[in-house]
Structure 1
């Protein structure tokens, strides 16, 4: 496993922090950075000391999307080579979307194109008012291909079209009203708000229950109603037999504090 230099991984208070660490390039994504992000999220999945993940970035920008110099190099690639590179990014987004642990984006600056995609696939997102969001691919002759799949699920077709087809950057408050991000908070309060929210999830919720719930949200949307309900009933039955459910219900009935 290669040493991570473009991404940092730390754990404290049962919260894993994954940091985009390429501030001189506005944390733009290239193949190596995507590889290291995948490596960090894999590490977090197996890290028993981490219950929740915060994705943050160094510098002034959260993520400027794909590294355009890197994209220019790829124009000399074969279709097969470009498909492999596209799949590399797809796997990262899917990994975050389907990750067994809750992922919170802490957005301290602009999140553009693929960077906006990164924020989109996280489960929760906190942003500063100054941050801009948008998918600018159509303005440089590119397409927002992979991120679109997740954006449609998150905010619906009408709002997704207004972002993807115009290529316009929108302010944080509009991103919040569209459902693209959850919370706008002043920069001076960002660290504290995210830490408090993450700690609340750690202390108050069953990790197993959050995993199952997140997994089901991702799965049921592509199912027919009856199939989705059958799947939900099975998951419901499985959950009743789980250690966490037995522990939680027993503590509640005995009026004891549940320690997760």
Structure 2
């Protein structure tokens, strides 16, 4: 992998954008390598949590400007294929069986902000900024819009998407775009401690099933959602994790996940 770094430590897979000279801007190659890295982490039984971050001064500054210039010469079919490439990455992260945490410092803009948005948890340093700036260059925040509406609701999404305004980490936290803010020098340890707590106290199976259900039930009718939920409830009861967990609870034993 040439545009990102991948490593595993303490059951955490670290996927790090590594184009600091380009402020980790999204290129076709970077999106491809991100898809590959997330697939690798999802299929690795030694990995329980995934942390996404960026090297250099920015988390991700959005699309690569040089690549955007190339897109101007593309046909509609070529642009649609390229757009679908990014859509597949966002959907992959959103539906991934494992928990994904975005560790954001510096700017997270346009597609870079979208990348953070689709993660399950977002923790940012005080110097982080967020913005869907596409409207300022005549573009549209099309793909991330689908996820952002789910995450923060229409009114707040409209304010961000239609104005293209940059907001601070504190402002992002106030509207539930992110989960918490930490001092820059403490962000890495904050994320590690949060991830470690999930690893040691929660069942992987339960978290994975819950995440998949959250993604699916919102698109179902009430009756269909409840039927699906009942099916998953019954399925979970038969799982090894559930049987182990209930046994440990009844016997007042500490369980190690």
For residue 22 of structure 1, what is the aligned residue in structure 2?
19
Separation in structure 2 between the aligned mates of residue 101 and residue 109 of structure 1, nearest angstrom: 25
For residue 76 of structure 2, what is the aligned residue in structure 1?
79
After TM superposition, give the deviation of residue 7 of structure 1 in Å: 1.1
Separation in structure 1 between the aligned mates of residue 65 and residue 20 of structure 2, nearest angstrom: 15
Q: TM-score scaled to structure 2, two decimals?
A: 0.99
For residue 225 of structure 1, what is the aligned residue in structure 2?
222
After TM superposition, give the deviation of residue 218 of structure 1 in Å: 0.3
Which sections of structure 2, spanning at least 5 residues, go unmatched?
none
1:215-254 aligned at under 5 Å gives the runs 215-254=212-251
- The one of 44, 48, 60 aligned to 1:51: 48
For residue 141 of structure 1, what is the aligned residue in structure 2?
138
Is 2:46 aligned against 1:37? no
For residue 109 of structure 2, what is the aligned residue in structure 1?
112
1:118-197 aligned at under 5 Å gives the runs 118-197=115-194
- The one of 195, 204, 209 aligned to 2:201: 204
**Number of equivalenced pairs:** 257
Deviating above 3 A after TM superposition, structure 1's stretches of 4 or more consecutive aligned residues are: none
Is 2:86 aligned against 1:89? yes
Separation in structure 2 between the aligned mates of residue 251 and residue 168 of structure 1, nearest angstrom: 50
Separation in structure 2 between the aligned mates of residue 177 and residue 149 of structure 1, nearest angstrom: 21
After TM superposition, give the deviation of residue 259 of structure 1 in Å: 0.9
Q: TM-score scaled to structure 1, two decimals?
A: 0.98
After TM superposition, give the deviation of residue 72 of structure 1 in Å: 1.0
- The one of 49, 59, 65 aligned to 1:68: 65
Cα-Cα RMSD: 0.5
Separation in structure 2 between the aligned mates of residue 33 and residue 181 of structure 1, nearest angstrom: 23
1:87-125, Cα deviation, whole Å (9 max, x unpaired): 000000000000000000000111000000011000001
1:59-98, Cα deviation, whole Å (9 max, x unpaired): 0100001112101101111111111100000000000000
Separation in structure 1 between the aligned mates of residue 11 and residue 219 of structure 2, nearest angstrom: 33
